[in-house]
Amino acid sequence: MDYTDALVGAPPAAARLVMFVMFVNCRMDRHLRVRIGGETPVSHRPRLWPALLLGLICSTLSSCATIRVTDPPRSATEQFLMSEATRKAVEQLSAEALRDREVFVDTSYVISSAYPTPENLFYIGEIRNKLLLGGVRLVDKREKAKIILEVRTGGIGNDRLEFLIGIPALYISGYLSQTPSNTPIVTPDFAIVKQTKQMGFASAAFVAYWADTGELVASSGPFVGRTLREDWWFFGFGPRTISDIPPGQKP
């Protein structure tokens, strides 16, 4: 059985497969010759061509599957850190004094008409939800209201703290890395113990007064809501996540 033609133009993986099949076929043929008396009957010859053909097809064909993955500008962890902190801060407000009153919510101290941020919009939405659940009658125009409620916040954001015992990542300049485009190279860190802590904070408060006289009706806050996510790595294994926000919570 001649396999020489199969080696011509074959990829390296296919060539190694053909050589392996040649070796196995030769060994089996020699073993049969010894047992049968020097001549291998046709019925006893190993039929390896189907396996050889299948191997050649598998080694020459290629397949490709693509999944479209998008990376938004802001991660889900960042957004939930702030939104959950906002929700916790608004939960502490008391609107008992405004029950069954016609109230207009003034957001001019929180939202800029030109560039409203998602955090502030969510904050106002939570305030309105809190008031409605408390029995407050909201109106859409200042002239219809008997009470004006001004909302304010000391800030909505998140902080990050990183801790590492081991060798941190090193940045090698393009000149020292000797890359064609002088692109900087970043070496991976080697962490014995590594921690990344992310904390979300939000402050909520409001003041309410009579629309006609400006006399104080109620005031609540400021209250602060907090969220946390911690990721731990031990000897390169991880992360082990401890969190009170949805991306890190166990289902």
H-only helix segments in the chain: 4-7, 12-36, 49-60, 76-91, 118-133, 174-177
Shared domain check, 174 and 56 = no
| Model confidence at 139: pLDDT above 50 | yes
Q: What residues are paired with 210 via a beta bridge?
A: 147
pLDDT of residue 18: 54
Burial (CB count <10 Å: 0-12, 13-18, 19+), residue 138:
middle
| Model confidence at 185: pLDDT above 80 | no
Q: How confident is the model at residue 42 (pLDDT cuts 50, 70, 90)?
A: very low
Shared domain check, 83 and 201 = yes
Residue-level length of the chain: 251
- Is 66 inside any structural domain? no
| Model confidence at 236: pLDDT above 90 | no
Distance CA 34, CA 103 (A): 103
239 preceded by a cis bond (ω within 30 of 0): yes
Token pair 């659940």 in the structure block, residue: 133
pLDDT tens for each residue of 120-129: 999 999 999 9
pLDDT of residue 60: 58
Shared domain check, 108 and 19 = no
Q: How confident is the model at residue 81 (pLDDT cuts 50, 70, 90)?
A: very high
Shared domain check, 232 and 165 = yes
Mean predicted confidence (pLDDT) in 48-61: 58
pLDDT of residue 180: 61
- The domain total for the chain is 2
How crowded is the C-beta side of 147, counted as CA atoms within 13 Å? 23
DSSP assignments along 157-202, one per residue: EEEEEEEEEEE---EEPHHHHT-TT---EEPPPEEEEEEEEEEEEE
- Is 69 inside any structural domain? no
What average pLDDT is seen over the chain? 79
- Is 71 inside any structural domain? no
| Model confidence at 39: pLDDT above 90 | no
Q: How confident is the model at residue 34 (pLDDT cuts 50, 70, 90)?
A: very low
Which is higher by pLDDT, 164 or 37? Answer: 164
Q: What is the DSSP letter of 97?
A: G
Instruction: Give 111's contacts (C-beta < 8 A, 6+ positions apart).
Output: 117, 120, 121, 124
Shared domain check, 233 and 109 = yes
pLDDT of residue 52: 57
Which is higher by pLDDT, 218 or 33? Answer: 218
Shared domain check, 45 and 151 = no
Shared domain check, 91 and 21 = no
Q: How confident is the model at residue 190 (pLDDT cuts 50, 70, 90)?
A: confident
pLDDT of residue 1: 46
Domain limits at 86? 76-248
